[in-house]
Amino acid sequence: MFRLLSKESNIFSIPVYIGFLLFIVILFNILNFNTYEAIIAGITFLGIALGYFCFNAIALNYNTHLSLFLYTFFIFGLYDGNLDLGIAVALLTNSFLLLLLTSTDEDLRKKSYVLVGSIVALNFIFLPTTWPMMCFVLIHLIVTSERVGLNIFRFLLGIIMITLSYFSVMFFMQYNTWNTAYIPFGKMKVMTDYTELFPLIPIALMLIYAIYDHFQHYNKKSPVSRYKYTFLLVFSLAQLVSIILYMNKSYEYLLLLAFPSTIILSRMFKFLPKYWMQEACVWLTIISLIAFKAGTHFNLF
């Protein structure tokens, strides 16, 4: 299977995966279909579908089917059909952030900082537990920008524009009380029971090894590859903070890590020295995701 998936993909193969994604979304939502659930399912589909195009835009997958295939299985294993609106919006906004912030064109990035600030603010409004993403983008901006002060102003301007618009709409609709969920650390639900996550342990161990292997051969990577890979790692860290602090039993939060985890794993599989290792890791990932899906769906653990 690894050799089959290592063949070069093209733009025409992406609709096939998106079609399968659409089937998954419809399948998991057909039993509880209503207008609200349809809106959430539509936003989820757009966010995840945009992720398929992010692979080629970020260009860390060597244009193979492997990352597209693994990403599809991650979605299948982690998506339960009962997604919160905030998570759905976060999936969509994260795809846009990845497209904008991984660009190697400094001129494009600096022109998009107002939009990035607006996206981050919108993400926070729908899902306050994603506040670490705001910190991540600010740190990323400071580290990678040439004119830090000006770009911070652009970023904050985007946040202020969305914030003022939000407060204006809420005031017009006579919502005059403050929701404590918008205060960081106000709704923390640190997980204490990890039993249902046990099937994902092999994937977690492979991710740790992949990161170790990346830094072991760090000097052999191209500057662009190092920049984009480091971006993904810090991006994943911001998502991980939200997951650790707020996920509890809401396992749909793990979808926030599906895209970066797919790239990290697919790159590791490609550079494994033996074919049997590559094949075994692909099947181990698939089996782990199916086991997690079965465990959460049928309450096996």
Q: Is the pLDDT of residue 189 over 80?
A: no
Query: CA 101, CA 228: separation in Å to the nearest integer?
Result: 9
What tens digit of pLDDT does each residue of 83-106 get?
A: 888 899 999 999 888 888 877 677
Cα dihedral sign for 78, 80, 81, 86?
A: negative
Q: How far is CA 103 from CA 3, 68, 120, 204, 277, in A?
A: 30, 20, 17, 28, 33
Measured in Å, how far apart are the chain's first and last C-alpha atoms?
30
Is residue 209 very low, low, confident or very high in pLDDT (cuts 50, 70, 90)?
very high
At residue 174, the pLDDT reads: 74
Measure CA 2 to chain center.
24
At residue 300, the pLDDT reads: 63
Query: CA 148, CA 142: separation in Å to the nearest integer?
Result: 6
Q: How far is CA 6 from CA 205, 206, 221, 276, in A?
A: 22, 19, 20, 14
What is the average per-residue pLDDT within 287-291? Answer: 93
Evaluate whether 86 touches 127 at the Cβ level (below 8 Å): yes
Is residue 120 very low, low, confident or very high in pLDDT (cuts 50, 70, 90)?
very high
At residue 8, the 3 state secondary structure works out as strand
Structure tokens at 85: 């609106």
Query: CA 83, CA 80: separation in Å to the nearest integer?
Result: 7
What is the value of pTM for the model shown? 0.88
Percent of the chain clearing pLDDT 70 (strictly above): 86
At residue 11, the pLDDT reads: 54
